[in-house]
Amino acid sequence: MGELHALTPDADVDREIWLMSPTDTALVLGSAQSAEIASSHESGVVRRRSGGGAVMVDPHHSVWIDVVINRGDPLWDDDVNRAPLWLGQAWRAALASLEVAGGLVLDRYEPGPWGRLACFASRGPGEVLVGGAKAVGITQRRTRNTARFQTLVYRRWSPEELMSRLVVPTGQTEDLRNTLAGSAYPLEAPAEKVIAAFMNSLPR
């Protein structure tokens, strides 16, 4: 899975959609996170080059789609907080087409007490909330000329599996468990339908 996160867009890339197909389950650490937060240092832990907290990627229970644009794209925005808002709106429309109503696209960063540890315990610009829970996670990796937006949705949310792979400070396990229990909104739809809904909702 590490090689998927390490992919780098060409400097002259046009708008592209990358449908990512990992073959194994892994704990993915944000670029600024220490490897010491992972309970295992084996092949099941990889690192991405974008920021944010740790996230579980599962080939069966999550859908991972990246979008790449260049500086000349009309969707480009130099402001990192505004930059992913259009993508959040596309995902919100995709959810609505899957009969998931009430999606809210966040326009600010709300780390929360556990956001530095676990991605879905925080909220960031462009991410989509349903009933207060994160349905779509977004992180971005930018260069001078390109932006790679990484998006993830869960079809099944397993906070216990995530916690089993993290080193949790002594005495704080229950607090983290309670936070994660309602932090994600899983989409109960086949992966191919989620992908099709997203593709159909993208700006032309």
Q: What is the pLDDT of residues 40-81, one digit of tens each?
A: 655 689 999 888 999 999 999 999 999 999 999 999 999 999
Alpha carbon separation from 49 to 63, 149, 190 (Å, rounded) = 19, 11, 29
Q: What is the pLDDT averaged over residues 130-140? A: 97
What are the tens digits of pLDDT across the range 146-197? 999 999 999 999 999 999 999 998 899 999 999 999 999 999 999 999 999 9
User: Which of 170, 160, 55 lies closest to 116 in space, CA to CA?
Assistant: 55
Q: Beta-carbon neighbour count of residue 14 at 10 Å?
A: 11
pLDDT given for residue 11 in this prediction = 84
User: How many domains, in total, are found in the chain?
Assistant: 1
pLDDT given for residue 107 in this prediction = 96
| Domain boundaries, position 120 | 2-201
Any idea of the CA torsion for 118, 122, 127, 130, to the nearest 10 degrees?
100
pLDDT given for residue 42 in this prediction = 57
CATH number of the domain enclosing 106: 3.30.930.10
Q: What is the pLDDT averaged over residues 116-126? A: 96
pLDDT given for residue 167 in this prediction = 93
Query: Looking at the predicted structure, is the pLDDT value of residue 4 above 60?
Result: yes
pTM, two decimals, is 0.94
